Amino acid sequence: MRDVCVVGVGMSQWGEVWRKSFRQLFVDAASAAIKNSGVDHLDGLYVGCMSGGLFVGQEHLGALCADYLGMAGIPAMRVESACASGGMAIRAAMFEVASGASDIVMAAGVEKMTDCSGDDATYALATAADQEYEVFHGATFPGLYAMMAHAHMAKYGTTRDMLSAVSVKNHKNGAMNPVAQYPFEITMEGVANSVMIADPLHILDCSPITDGAAAVIVCTEEKAKALGKPYVKIIGSGVGTDTLQLCQRADMTTIKASTLAAERALKMAGKTIKDVQFAEMHDCFTIAEIVICESIGLYAPGKAGAAILAGETALDGKFPVNSSGGLKSKGHAVGATGVAQIVEIYKQLTGQAEGGRQIPGSPKIGMAQNMGGSGASSVVHILEVA
């Protein structure tokens, strides 16, 4: 396979973006990525979106997005894997270039989640869970992750402060991100005293619903060099799956799909987790970041919570996690999240992270971990400075 490089990135504003439509959010991010990369055409387009049909009543997104980008006619398709849709779009674009089928491809993600009622948004998100055995009985994602949190607390002694530390850290990073939905800092006490959603998870343990888009240009290294812009290589990509139902898993305190995805991505890259210097992780809930840190082998089971509380995953820690602010502060436009993670990895590896959130020491290798639902699907990418 050919080497594949990220040569340009773009994002729209994330948050409750009332004055922009679904298609305009996509165009904002896609146009920014094209301008950032300097490419003059695209050979293909992949659009990650979890549920445009339920959120805004719009499907057939490949053609729609190509049209409104001014590129009707190019091959374009929508990619769906719940909240991992964006990461899967990155993987699809990567393999199209790696295979030799195309030289320049855009991977984008977009979601417009605030144009419907809260109940409708909850229903749309719940389609990523098992409808017959979870949703029918009243389970929603806060409830499912709350069960994971209780299991982790019972097995390993994980504490309220450990959960709160995830949110406090990510908000501190997100306060420096100009496109973040919630760019402000919070306190440990603020998290613990915020409204309870599903015990032990408070509202400040939960990622928000978000309008937003992100886009990445991938191409051959030959094209990247010719463009004369900063670029990084995607050296590993892995996907894993698990049971959709939480109750069918052997252990609710780990996410097997992320373990498999990380192992496969690292094997492709010829690296180990010790070679990776920082990561963007899918912190849809604070417990998720703790569990993922353990599932990918960064920490032994039961050890991540204390490490996060001690500052090891802070911006100036030994392994920074979610320098963008993560889903918690940056926002969680579900179909776009996996693409936004690659945007952050690219910025960190090329020294372009805004607002003072650049990781010290010029990191050379980063990881993006994106997952769907309660972890039934996960995709991991490893990127390296060229």
Residues carrying an active site annotation: 83, 332
Contact indicator for 256, 249 with CB cutoff of 8 Å: yes
What is the SS3 assignment for 237?
A: strand
Query: Residue type for 356, please?
Result: G
Q: CA-CA-CA-CA torsion for 233, 238, 244, 246, nearest 10 degrees?
A: -90
- CA angle in degrees (0–180, nearest 5) for 326-328-333: 80
What is the SS3 assignment for 240?
A: strand
| Phi–psi pair at 370, nearest 5 degrees | -125, 140
Contact indicator for 287, 163 with CB cutoff of 8 Å: yes
SS3 content of the chain, % helix, strand, coil (to 5): 40, 20, 40
Contact indicator for 211, 113 with CB cutoff of 8 Å: yes
Neighbours of 190 (CB within 10 A): 15
Residue identified by tokens 């032990």 is 200
Q: Report the half-sphere exposure of 373 (CA within 13 A, side-chain side).
A: 24
